[in-house]
Chains A and B, each alone.
Chain A
Amino acid sequence: MNSRERILGRVRRALADVPPDERPYAEAVARDYLREHGKRTVEETVDLLAENLADYRAVVHRTGARDLPDLIAGLLAARGSREVLVPPGLPPQWLAATNLERIEDRPGDTPQRLDRVGSVVTGCAVAIAETGTLVLDGSPGQGRRRISLIPDHHICVVRVPAQVVASVPQALERLAPTHPLTWISGPSATSDIELDRVEGVHGPRTLEVILLDD
């Protein structure tokens, strides 16, 4: 008998007390928790997102489409990075005002190569206001998981209000499990030393979020 059969056999013997006609899953789990915490207008939800992002030490900016290229160029210049990493589907006009060298996200590039790039600009799939969370799903405007991880400075653009939801349940409804997903709430952080929070252990130490009014 292989281990698969052994373990499944043990599970079945262990559950001999469970009646075969037990309530099915859909009935067994009451979903009487909230889909959203509190009543808010769309504008208030976006404000809450900004507030919670900032509370976790992300730097939040708001702008319209016309001023976006200048804002991104300014943030990159202030950072002093020589190169910027870009996913293949990033709208070209976002970077129209910067003359930094663009490094395309190519599968052949080694992690060591990406480690020399100072900044990365991505979009996102959805942002969650109640928790201050950005979710990236690997779509063309966001790129591979590693590009938002290795550079020390991440600029993430969120289209508001289209990409903003209030809560975790609402976010999951919008996401496809077949995509690799990265949920980001503030910059990398640790509380392992005397529970003092320190930003930036292994991921980007600076997270800048641009709320782009559509």
Chain B
Amino acid sequence: MSSTFVGMPAFPEAARAAVDDPTLRGNLRHATHTIRAKRAAAVAELADWGGLREAGRRIKDHTLRHLDRYLERLEASVTAAGGTVHWAADADEANRIVAELVKETGESEVVKVKSMATQEIGLNEALEAEGIRAYETDLAELIVQLGKDRPSHILVPAIHRNRGEIRDIFTHEMAAWGRPAPGDLTDTPADLAEAARLHLREKFLRARVGVSGANFMVAETGTLVVVESEGNGRMCLTLPETLISVVGIEKIVPTWRDLEVFLQTLPRSSTAERMNPYTSMWTGTTDEDGPRAFHLVLLDNGRTDALADQVGRQALRCIRCSACLNVCPVYERAGGHAYGSVYPGPIGAILTPQLRGTASEIDASLPYASSLCGACYEVCPVAIDIPEVLVHLRERVVEGGPAVRRGNKVVLRPARGHAAERAAMRAAAWAFGHPGALRTGQRLASRSRRLHPRTLPGPGRAWSGTRDLPTLPPEPFRDWWQRTRGGKDAK
């Protein structure tokens, strides 16, 4: 994934700074609570929400279970419609393909529609290294790019910034990228949006190459779908002569009809609208309407490794609506940056360690960035059981075991830093298998309860630093049961 995140500290460490930042917490709380309430209302309008959710789950599951067939079908459809299909096994290959395609046009700048896949592969940085400047055109992505910042939310990447911060970024940074911000720029959202409109319009009108992702690809017809609000997507998808779309291989649906499910569930789950303002659909190229050349780059970059995991593969059903972020008590407090990945929140906590593996400290910590409360599963419009995958990945982090990395079967060793947890679990397993020892231990613990420390020593210190240790009862349950026969004999 993006090199931007290399060297990120593990989640608990990164989250501490976020939790201590009252502005950030205020911005996040306002945003997540607002969108959460709106979403519930938008979903309540559809009496068949449960049926749509189940259909979405089954369409995506079926597609993933026969992905090879649908990829070949899609390639044939796109090619027949006048597009060119490229295959990229990893981020480097995808970046190389895009850079080559841009160079072939003779251009040195591109306009971009917001795209999780191109963030994931660090495309902007890779193009910069090749002398190509990529302009983000989504308002929030523009704020992030001008602020030399990182996105913190899948849908509203600048959610961590308030209007005053955005005005300062526009005032100080716009001139270096093109048309400067007006001198008397206020911090009202309408004025800020107008400044972005003027700044970006000159880029749209002269752009000859556009780069996008896609929300859906229809195998049957070769149609690509981009869902957006501002019109920057329409600008990038229709004005340039060349369009390059970088799309993860999991974004396929089999048939045209399948869009009827996702075009109902995605807008209501993401922006809490009946429908987003703009949706563009294109199939290859069309004479004199839109780009004359269309390139589709199909991206693996760890997706086939996730596919090989029978529990974890359900994460590939994700349609990137971000509903799970907005209900997550951990995301709300820790913010998007602490996850150290372009996919933050609950979905990021299961998707990222599968795409990148669990070798690094940050990736090994992500399955723990959750309270397992289950709210993310409840709101997911394709019913991804995020808690199930989190527990599965925790087991992998602690115990190691078989997995697939870059297409090869490997046996993972337990992640570093989890020795104490593993030792504790082994000790617990032994004690539960030896009733005599368990009884003795429990009695000993009860009788010495006045002497127990309030915090744990050694490796347990970090755990007890943020939690109260449970107090032990004066006698173990089993002794109480024997003494009173379950409360029948009075005390």
Which A residues are closer than 8 A to B by beta carbons? 2-4, 6-15, 17-18, 22, 25, 28-34, 37, 52, 56, 107, 110-112, 115, 128, 130-133, 138, 144-146, 149, 168-169, 172, 177-196, 198, 200-204
Asked if A188 and B230 sit within 8 Å, CB to CB, the answer is yes
Asked if B35 and A115 sit within 8 Å, CB to CB, the answer is no
Interface string of B210-238 (1 = CB under 8 A from A): 00000000100101000001111011011
Asked if B260 and A37 sit within 8 Å, CB to CB, the answer is no
Complex CA gap A31/B258 in Å reads 10
CB of A77, distance to nearest CB on chain B (Å): 25
Contact of B201 among A12, A115, A131, A186 (CB under 8 A): A115
Given the contacts A168-B264, A172-B259, A193-B163, A185 and B158 also touching, CB distance less than 8 Å: no
User: Which of B102-110, B286-294, B380-388, B466-474 touches A?
Assistant: B286-294
Q: What would 21 A/B residue contacts be, using CB atoms closer than 8 Å?
A: A7-B71, A7-B89, A9-B407, A34-B46, A37-B45, A37-B47, A131-B275, A145-B237, A146-B239, A168-B260, A168-B263, A177-B218, A182-B278, A185-B273, A188-B277, A189-B277, A191-B229, A191-B271, A192-B138, A193-B192, A202-B231
Which residues on B sit within 8 Å (CB–CB) of A13? 308, 404, 407
Given the contacts A30-B54, A33-B51, A189-B277, A177 and B264 also touching, CB distance less than 8 Å: no
Which residues on B sit within 8 Å (CB–CB) of A8? 68, 71-72
- Judged by DSSP, the binding face of A is loop
Which residues on A sit within 8 Å (CB–CB) of B47? 34, 37
User: Which of B58-66, B357-365, B441-449, B481-489 touches A?
Assistant: B58-66
CB of A33, distance to nearest CB on chain B (Å): 4
Given the contacts A107-B288, A185-B274, A192 and B143 also touching, CB distance less than 8 Å: yes
Given the contacts A30-B55, A34-B47, A177-B218, A203 and B30 also touching, CB distance less than 8 Å: no
Which residue of chain A is the closest to B229 with respect to CB atoms?
A: A189
Asked if B162 and A194 sit within 8 Å, CB to CB, the answer is yes
Complex CA gap A171/B274 in Å reads 15
Contact of B190 among A2, A3, A194, A198 (CB under 8 A): A198
Given the contacts A15-B307, A191-B156, A202 and B204 also touching, CB distance less than 8 Å: yes
Is B189 in contact with chain A by the CB < 8 A criterion? Answer: yes
Query: Which residues of chain B from 237 to 259 have a CB within 8 Å of any chain A CB?
Result: 237-239, 249, 254-259
Complex CA gap A33/B54 in Å reads 9
Complex CA gap A118/B407 in Å reads 55
Asked if A11 and B68 sit within 8 Å, CB to CB, the answer is yes
CB of A172, distance to nearest CB on chain B (Å): 5
Asked if B89 and A3 sit within 8 Å, CB to CB, the answer is yes
Asked if B58 and A30 sit within 8 Å, CB to CB, the answer is yes
Which residues on A sit within 8 Å (CB–CB) of B35? 195
Please name the 7 residue pairs, one residue from A and one from B, whose CB atoms are nearest each other, closest first: A203-B231, A33-B51, A14-B308, A202-B231, A10-B304, A183-B279, A131-B275
CB of A182, distance to nearest CB on chain B (Å): 6
Asked if A132 and B290 sit within 8 Å, CB to CB, the answer is no
CB of A203, distance to nearest CB on chain B (Å): 3
Given the contacts A17-B310, A131-B274, A194 and B30 also touching, CB distance less than 8 Å: yes
Asked if B93 and A3 sit within 8 Å, CB to CB, the answer is yes
Asked if B286 and A180 sit within 8 Å, CB to CB, the answer is yes
